[in-house]
Amino acid sequence: MIYAGCDLGIVSAKAAIIQNSDIRAFEILPYKSHPKQAAVDVMDKALAKVGLSREQIDSCLSTGFGKNAVSYANGAVPSLVCLHRAIRELNPSIRTVIDVGGHSFAAFNIDDNGRIAATAVTDKCAAGTGKFVDVMANALEKPVEELSQASLSSNNPIPITNQCVIFAESEVISHINNGCDRLDIFAGIASAVAAKIVGLVKRIDVNEEVAMIGGVAKNSIVVRDLERKLGLRFANLGVDCQVIGALGAALIAKDERESASQ
């Protein structure tokens, strides 16, 4: 049986395809408009990797901010439920999850019985999100991936004091005009983002093992600064940290179909 999940976020679409509980393929597709088309394109790309068509999917569920725009899905599931299901599948030892995406960031605990115990979520401010990082990288006129790796060598991070995207962007431009090194500026941005995330995470207990997921979990310097501020190392889940929601949706599709057949 083939199951699929589509996680349609604000800045990227993610798809995962599983057979039994094994991941057959996944795909991540950044987009700027037309979310319905992005949902179609990301699933078709994932299916093409394993020579399948949408007609061969036994069940597909959607999740994410744009879950209702996934026209081919058999239903929709809240993001938190999908993340929890995938984490329990990948590593049952995880007790705290930090999810930082393009539009929002969240943290939740999982108790010893595998249930969600506490949550903290924010989607009211861009500071701490992938969108904030992207805007700052655009101001620095370099790709995020390049900056996040290269700025690990910075020994003089320049503090970024503004949390508002517009004011922070102006602050970054001022630093550039003053001749500051771009890597030092980005190191300061990363530290500010990490501090914002820590502020949210500490609303709940931080219990090891801890996993960080979402697009920002691919940002090397933000991850490093977060680990330093929290005094821990994040667990390795063994899959791309950006497809956890889509994987969870696919696993829930499998669970529902198997329960219905019993």
Using an 8 Å Cβ cutoff, are 208 and 188 in contact?
A: no
What is the number of domains present in the chain?
A: 2
Whether the bond into 145 is cis, omega within 30 of 0:
no
Query: According to the model, what pLDDT value does residue 129 have?
Result: 81
Residues 247 and 229 in one domain: no
Take residue 214 and report the two structure tokens written for it: 């979402």
Residues 41 and 158 in one domain: no
- Rounded to 5 degrees, φ, ψ at 108 are -150, 155
Question: From edge to edge, which strands make up the β-sheet containing 210-213?
Answer: 116-122, 105-110, 96-100, 210-213
Nearest-angstrom CA–CA distance, 108 and 111:
10
The string of pLDDT tens digits covering residues 189-238 is 999 999 999 998 999 999 999 999 999 999 999 999 999 999 999 999 99
Query: According to the model, what pLDDT value does residue 124 have?
Result: 64
**Domain range enclosing 53:** 1-91+242-262
Nearest-angstrom CA–CA distance, 76 and 124:
23
Residues 78 and 103 in one domain: no
Query: According to the model, what pLDDT value does residue 105 have?
Result: 87
Nearest-angstrom CA–CA distance, 108 and 99:
9
Residues 151 and 33 in one domain: no
Number of helices and strands in the chain (H, E):
8, 9
Sequence-ordered strand ranges (E) for the chain: 2-8, 12-19, 22-30, 59-63, 75-76, 96-100, 105-110, 116-122, 210-213
Residues 99 and 226 in one domain: yes
Residues 168 and 113 in one domain: yes
Using an 8 Å Cβ cutoff, are 160 and 192 in contact?
A: yes
Using an 8 Å Cβ cutoff, are 63 and 76 in contact?
A: yes
Q: Which residue numbers in the chain have pLDDT < 70?
A: 123-126
- Rounded to 5 degrees, φ, ψ at 24 are -90, -40
Residues 60 and 122 in one domain: no
Residue closest to 61 by CA, chosen among 261, 250, 256? 250
Nearest-angstrom CA–CA distance, 134 and 236:
25
Nearest-angstrom CA–CA distance, 80 and 61:
14
Domain of residue 113, CATH code: 3.30.420.40
**Residues facing 62 on adjacent strands:** 6, 76
Residues 86 and 105 in one domain: no
Relative to beta strand 116-122, strand 105-110 is antiparallel
Residues 217 and 105 in one domain: yes
Residues 140 and 73 in one domain: no
Residues 34 and 134 in one domain: no
Residue closest to 159 by CA, chosen among 188, 136, 182? 188
Nearest-angstrom CA–CA distance, 2 and 58:
5
Residues 99 and 229 in one domain: yes
Query: According to the model, what pLDDT value does residue 32 have?
Result: 84
- What is the DSSP-derived secondary structure letter of residue 133? H
